Amino acid sequence: MAKVAFLLAGGFEDSEMKNPYEAIKEAGHETTIIGLEKGAECKGKKGTVSYTAELASSEAKASDFDAVVIPGGSAPEALRVNDDVVRFVKELNEQGKLISGICHGPQVMISADILKGKAATCYIGIRDDVKLAGADYKDEEVVVSENLVTSRTPNDEPAFIREILAKLA
């Protein structure tokens, strides 16, 4: 079974964390919530779910994980300015491990500079940023490009989860 990290900060899109997290756990994979500080409470922007960071980004080692999921909402904005988060995602990419992001999640991929030459999708509001980062932007429910899986909105969660689970299998 795979070890899957979830990058989280307050203000994430509730369902974009809850649904992939539960599906990945249900499939038997091990999950770890990585936040800016260990023990920090991360509340969803709609207030329906809340999670506690089990590991600080400063302690996260790419070699300990097989994949990362980056939910959207406003959390990626807080995550992308953290050097440890960016390092972690860069290292996962260098190791060819699965990096998945939905909605605003690809903002972290932009800061980690891992989109060049890959296809990706995202929330329409950051489409230009994804293109400027070197990605071939696609307006599709899910885009799989090498080790990346990206989706646009909560409506795309079933396809997003399906492709993550397929990659982890």
Give the CATH number, domain containing residue 99. 3.40.50.880
Q: CB within 8 A of 86, min separation 6: which ones? A: 80, 108, 111, 112
pTM for the full model?
A: 0.98
pLDDT tier at 124 (50, 70, 90 boundaries)?
A: very high
Residue-wise pLDDT for 65-101, tens only, equals 999 999 999 999 999 999 999 999 999 999 999 999 9
* Two tokens, residue 39: 């023990």
**83: exposed, middle or buried (Cβ count in 10 Å: 0-12, 13-18, 19+):** exposed
| Domain of 51, in residue numbers | 3-168
Catalytic entry in 29, 42, 104, 122: 104
Set 29, 42, 103, 122: catalytic member: 103
Question: Would you call 103 a catalytic residue per the annotation?
Answer: yes
Looking at the structure of the chain, the number of domains it has is 1
What pLDDT does residue 114 have?
98
Active site residue 122: no
